[in-house]
């Protein structure tokens, strides 16, 4: 590959990478092309500009796409089925109403952050928002509290889980790319996510709720108020169902820590059921019974719920695959090593580097998933050349960066604007500020934790 403008080989690769990323940003943000198509085009563009042979570029793309989706596609599919069962059975509503009763009306905003956190574990942010918005409207009406004072804590709980807590696909992508330990990542993510969600949710929600008065859209308020009453599943069986994948993964992680060489059959069994695919599969099958057959649903209805849950995530799966393709081209073209060399020579803290890369891509593309996937490909080579780095905290830093500054190029921005009946400036002052708080506070807590682990 010929150098340009007298730059050396590594610098030239970085220029072509900047061109490919600019192409990615412009076509997604300005021309509104589908991210999957643009990611494939950007991957081909980068590979050819970097001097790869044409057929090698295609091979790199297919390798990256297939390798990324090998586990993630299964995780997304099973997680979506679990979320669908929770929605159809009324399990999410049971969790919300029980916690609200326990917390009381004056502390209901604390209940909402916990509701968002718990419900967000098996479902995507968009699904969780649609699932919980009727509860937000109902609680706000019953307590006469500001809609944002109720809604911001719920949004914070959903969003922080989306960016930081496995088995969500975004952190799982980084775990796979960096070779991080799943159990330790879950443990650290909870330590980071809980205080981050508290400050960005109930505390900020109370502040902004007094300054921005929001009321539900009339048509939605009427629709949700006419919702038919139904008998809800029990609280504890719902909690067991929703938390089962996390519990199984923690069991597997604990067994591997206690017996790292897996010398006993019991350790092997624990690691088997703790694998994310097996844990989610067990949880989904359990949900078919606990939230399905036990609630009176027929096998035909349960099959329909499972089938209906999948089309909505097809686009997300393709985007993740496209991000994996771009990541592989970054590696095979030598760009990853070039970035790693420059970052290593500059002595950049790899945690801050991971956060910054993900944050820049998030602001540019509006997608936390694209930000996490693309950043993982850029950060992984840097991490490989950084001995002693805490890999699990780098995963969380990448996730925190992917949450920052949601604005008009993010679908979540418009969902929040419409559901909460806000203007664009009001959405920027509430939702966008909350997302930025999550990101920045997440980084601060990660850096603090890095001093101890």
Closest CA to 258 of 274, 279, 235: 274
Residue 34 located in a structural domain: yes
Tell me what pLDDT residue 442 has.
95
> What is the domain extent for residue 293?
9-450
**How far is 153 from 117, CA to CA, in rounded Å?**
9
Asked if residues 324 and 40 have their Cβ atoms less than 8 Å apart, the reply is no
Grade residue 222 by pLDDT with cuts at 50, 70 and 90.
low
402 assigned to some structural domain: yes
Output the CA–CA distances (angstroms, integers) from residue 107 to 104, 144, 205, in the order listed.
6, 13, 12
In a domain, 4, yes or no: no
Average pLDDT over residues 245-261: 78
Q: What is the separation of C-alpha 240 from the centre of its chain, rounded to a whole number of angstroms?
A: 22
Q: Are 291 and 89 in contact (CB under 8 A)?
A: yes
Examine the pLDDT at 443 and tell me if it is beyond 90: yes
Residue 24: count of CB within 10 angstroms of its CB:
26
Task: Classify residue 205: in a domain, yes or no.
Answer: yes
Question: So what's the pLDDT on residue 131?
Answer: 65
Give the pLDDT band of residue 312 (cuts 50, 70, 90).
low
Query: Per-residue pLDDT for 227 more than 50?
Result: no
Look at the chain and report how many structural domains it folds into.
Answer: 1
Residue 279 domain-assigned (yes or no): yes
Q: Is residue 2 part of a domain?
A: no
Give pTM, 2 decimals: 0.69
Q: Note the pLDDT of residue 127.
A: 64
The lowest-confidence range among 270-274, 281-285, 395-399 is 270-274
Residue 228: what pLDDT?
46
Q: What's the full length of the chain, in residues?
A: 453
Residue 187 lies in a domain: yes
What mean pLDDT comes out for the span 182-193? 90
pLDDT beyond 50 at 226: no
182: which 2 tokens? Answer: 């799943």
pLDDT (tens digit per residue) in 95-109: 767 877 887 777 888
Q: Can you give the pLDDT at residue 152?
A: 94
> Given this model, what pLDDT does residue 56 score?
94
C-alpha closest to that of 121 among 143, 95, 141, 90: 95
pLDDT band for 355, please (50, 70, 90 cuts).
Answer: very high
pLDDT band, very low/low/confident/very high, at 435 (cuts 50, 70, 90): very high
Domain-located, residue 3: no
pLDDT of residue 340: 63
Whole-number average pLDDT of the chain? 82
Percent of the chain clearing pLDDT 70 (strictly above): 89
Contacting residues for 260 by C-beta, under 8 A, at least 6 apart: none
For the segment 156-160, the average pLDDT, to the nearest whole number, is 92
Burial category of 399 from C-beta neighbours within 10 Å (exposed 0-12, middle 13-18, buried 19 and up): buried
Q: Please state the rounded mean pLDDT for residues 267-293.
A: 89
- Name the token pair of 4: 């340009």
């Amino acid at each position: 590959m010929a150098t340009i403008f007298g730059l050396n080989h590594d610098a030239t690769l970085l220029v072509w990478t900047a061109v490919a990323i600019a192409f990615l940003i412009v076509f997604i943000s300005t021309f509104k092309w589908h991210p999957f198509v643009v990611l494939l085009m950007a991957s081909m563009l980068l590979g050819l500009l970097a001097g790869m042979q044409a057929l090698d570029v295609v091979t790199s793309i297919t390798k990256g796409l297939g390798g990324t989706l090998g586990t993630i596609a299964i995780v997304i599919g099973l997680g979506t089925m679990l979320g669908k069962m929770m929605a159809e059975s009324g399990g999410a509503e049971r969790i919300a109403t029980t916690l609200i009763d326990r917390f009381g009306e004056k502390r209901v905003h604390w209940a909402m952050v916990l509701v968002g956190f718990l419900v967000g574990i098996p479902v995507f942010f968009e699904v969780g928002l649609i699932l919980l918005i009727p509860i937000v409207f109902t609680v706000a009406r019953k307590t006469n509290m500001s809609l944002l004072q109720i809604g911001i804590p719920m949004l914070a709980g959903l969003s922080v889980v989306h960016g930081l807590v496995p088995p969500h696909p975004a952190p799982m992508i980084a775990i796979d790319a960096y070779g991080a330990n799943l159990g330790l990542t879950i443990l650290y993510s909870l330590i980071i996510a809980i205080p981050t969600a508290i400050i960005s949710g109930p505390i900020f929600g109370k502040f902004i709720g007094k300054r921005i008065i929001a009321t539900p859209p009339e048509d939605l308020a009427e629709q949700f108020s006419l919702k038919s009453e139904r008998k809800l599943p029990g609280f504890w069986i719902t909690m067991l169902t929703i938390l089962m994948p996390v519990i199984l993964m923690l069991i597997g992680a604990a067994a591997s820590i206690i017996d790292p060489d897996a010398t006993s059959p019991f350790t092997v069994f624990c690691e088997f059921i703790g694998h994310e695919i097996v844990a989610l599969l067990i949880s989904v099958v359990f949900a078919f019974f606990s939230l399905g057959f036990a609630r009176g649903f027929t096998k035909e209805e349960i099959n329909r719920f499972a089938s209906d849950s999948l089309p909505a995530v097809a686009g997300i799966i393709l985007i993740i695959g496209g991000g994996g393709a771009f990541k592989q081209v970054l590696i095979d073209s030598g760009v990853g090593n070039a970035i790693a060399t420059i970052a290593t020579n500059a002595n950049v803290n790899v945690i801050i580097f991971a956060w910054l890369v993900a944050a820049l891509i998030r602001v540019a593309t509006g997608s936390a998933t694209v930000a996490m996937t693309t950043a993982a490909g850029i950060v992984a080579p840097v991490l490989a050349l950084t001995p002693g780095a805490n890999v699990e905290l780098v995963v969380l830093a990448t996730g925190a960066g992917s949450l920052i500054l949601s604005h008009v190029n993010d679908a979540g921005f418009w969902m929040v604007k419409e559901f909460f009946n806000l203007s664009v400036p009001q959405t920027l002052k509430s939702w966008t500020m909350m997302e930025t708080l999550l990101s920045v506070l997440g980084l601060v807590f990660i850096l603090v934790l890095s001093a101890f682990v």
